Amino acid sequence: GAGVSQTPSNKVTEKGKYVELRCDPISGHTALYWYRQSLGQGPEFLIYFQGTGAADDSGLPNDRFFAVRPEGSVSTLKIQRTERGDSAVYLCASSLYVGASGYNEQFFGPGTRLTVL
Partner 1 sequence: QQQVKQSPQSLIVQKGGISIINCAYENTAFDYFPWYQQFPGKGPALLIAIRPDVSEKKEGRFTISFNKSAKQFSLHIMDSQPGDSATYFCAGEGAGSYQLTFGKGTKLSVIP
Question: Which residue in 14, 16, 41, 85 binds partner 1 (CB under 8 A)?
Answer: 41
Q: What residues pair up with 14 in beta bridges, in sequence order?
A: none
Residues written for the chain: 117
Residue 43 touches partner 1, criterion: CB under 8 A:
yes
The three-class DSSP label of residue 10 is strand
Return the range that interacts with partner 1 (CB under 8 A); candidates 14-22, 27-35, 70-78, 80-88.
27-35
Residue 101 touches partner 1, criterion: CB under 8 A:
yes
Return the range that interacts with partner 1 (CB under 8 A); candidates 11-19, 28-36, 63-71, 72-80.
28-36
Q: With contact defined as beta carbons under 8 Å apart, do 38 and 53 qualify?
A: no
Residue 4 touches partner 1, criterion: CB under 8 A:
yes
Residue 53 touches partner 1, criterion: CB under 8 A:
no
- How many other CB atoms are there within 10 angstroms of residue 54's CB atom? 19
Q: With contact defined as beta carbons under 8 Å apart, do 23 and 4 qualify?
A: yes
The three-class DSSP label of residue 86 is helix
Residue 63 touches partner 1, criterion: CB under 8 A:
no
Our CB check for partner 1 shows the closer of 28 and 102 to be 102
Integer Cα distance of 92 and 73 in angstroms: 12
Provide the binding-site residues for partner 1, judged by CB under 8 A: 4, 31, 33, 35, 40-45, 48, 55-56, 58-59, 91, 93, 100-101, 103, 105-111
